[in-house]
Amino acid sequence: MATATKTIYRELKNDPLKYYLAVGLTGLIALIAAAAAYYMETNGHHVTGMNNQIVWGMPHVFAVFLIVAASGALNVASIGSVFGKTAYKPLARLSGLLAIALLAGGLAVLVLDLGRPDRLIVAMTKYNFKSIFAWNIYLYTGFFAIVGVYLWMMLEKRMNRYSSAVGVVAFVWRLALTTGTGSIFGFLVARQSYDAAVFAPLFIAMSFSFGLAIFILVLAIASRADDRPLGDFIVGKLAKLLGVFVAAVLYFVIVQHLTNLYATEHHGVERFILLKVVSSRVSSGSDRLFSAVSYRWSFCFTRRLTRRGHIFMPQPVS
């Protein structure tokens, strides 16, 4: 590749049909999401599958997925700015924009899943700095601000020379953000299936893979819709990169489970997660008090008791 390559950015073709189709489709998705949020708000959180055992349910899966993917979507820009790979530079703007969009989407789900989303102002004004959630509020808003500035540096020609420096800051910040998100789970000492330092790097690896996957999908659809072939070079590069990231996730997942499988105290929880058919109900339901004691919980609880010299073993009341 020549050293004096100059990237020429051109806007998408003026095709009203495709444009309105894209706006309409995304608008429809947003409308369905708003209806779902309204449904949950009026009927109660139990409609999401939440109960006394499953505290963070389906909405959190989407929220955390999108938040993690957001920091990963920024990777393509980072590869260009931080690691100086010029081939990726033309894609950096899309990468930054997608990162902001994904984070906004994830946070929207997260906030709407709060019991009192109307009290968001309380979360913004009252902080308990021992809470990782509180740290994350700063990490998320900081991410918006930094990626916003990063986009500005990339989009404004006069500012282009600062884009590398801001890119480095954004890269470091995104690592911190994903570490923070992973630590929400990794620091949960009460939950045996979490409670592991490996969650931070695992989340970083996951963000690399999820974010790049979404980036590739959006890029492929956009270039197809605009009749602008990507070329085998960049597609091959991105595919290989995604393969490496997926392998990294697999590596951390294997490490997590191998560590647990080695320690006898975790055998129970591993058997539960990897082999058992999950059922949150324990009893026949005739006694609602007992049915509220999850098999999973009693398992964790009794494993610890076992370790402490007690001999109780869990037994689902049938």
Q: Is 141 in the site for other proteins (CB under 8 A)?
A: no
Q: Which of 137, 213, 216, 218 binds other proteins (CB under 8 A)?
A: 137
Q: Is 190 in the site for other proteins (CB under 8 A)?
A: yes
Burial of residue 310 (CB within 10 Å: 0-12, 13-18, 19+) is exposed
Q: Which of 4, 232, 311, 318 binds other proteins (CB under 8 A)?
A: 311
Q: Is 298 in the site for other proteins (CB under 8 A)?
A: yes
**Mask: binding to other proteins, 221-250, rule CB under 8 A, as x and -?**
------------------------------
Closest CA to 94 of 9, 161, 35, 160: 9
Q: Is 294 in the site for other proteins (CB under 8 A)?
A: yes
Piece in contact with other proteins (CB under 8 A), picked from 12-20, 23-31, 62-70, 112-120: 112-120
Residues 136, 184 contacting (CB under 8 angstroms)? yes
Burial of residue 121 (CB within 10 Å: 0-12, 13-18, 19+) is exposed
- Give the number of other Cβ atoms within 10 Å of residue 217's Cβ: 10
Per-residue b/e over 222-258, b at no fewer than 16 CB within 10 Å? ebeeeeeebeeebeeebeebbeebbebbeebeeebee
Q: Is 116 in the site for other proteins (CB under 8 A)?
A: yes
- C-alpha distances out from residue 177 to 24, 97, 143, 181, 291, Å: 32, 17, 8, 6, 38
- Give the number of other Cβ atoms within 10 Å of residue 50's Cβ: 18
Q: Is 202 in the site for other proteins (CB under 8 A)?
A: no
**Between residues 188 and 198, which has the closer beta carbon with respect to other proteins?**
188
CB within 8 A of 33, min separation 6: which ones? 108, 109
**Mask: binding to other proteins, 17-56, rule CB under 8 A, as x and -?**
--------------------------xxxx---xxxx-xx
Q: Which of 134, 198, 213, 216 binds other proteins (CB under 8 A)?
A: 134
Q: Which of 2, 17, 189, 275 binds other proteins (CB under 8 A)?
A: 189
Q: What are 185's two structure tokens?
A: 């789970």
Q: How far is the CB of 123 from other proteins (least distance, A)?
A: 5
Q: Which of 31, 35, 114, 221 binds other proteins (CB under 8 A)?
A: 114
**Between residues 116 and 161, which has the closer beta carbon with respect to other proteins?**
116
Q: Is 310 in the site for other proteins (CB under 8 A)?
A: yes
**Between residues 95 and 298, which has the closer beta carbon with respect to other proteins?**
298
Closest CA to 248 of 195, 301, 316, 178: 178
Torsion over CA of 191, 193, 197 and 199, rounded to 10 degrees?
Answer: -110
**Between residues 86 and 315, which has the closer beta carbon with respect to other proteins?**
315
Coil/strand/helix, residue 67? helix
Angle (CA) 74 207 255, round 5°: 150
Piece in contact with other proteins (CB under 8 A), picked from 7-15, 225-233, 255-263, 287-295: 287-295
Residues binding other proteins (CB under 8 A): 43-46, 50-53, 55-56, 114-117, 119-120, 122-123, 126-128, 130-134, 137, 184, 187-191, 280-281, 285, 288-294, 297-298, 301-302, 304-305, 307-308, 310-313, 315, 317
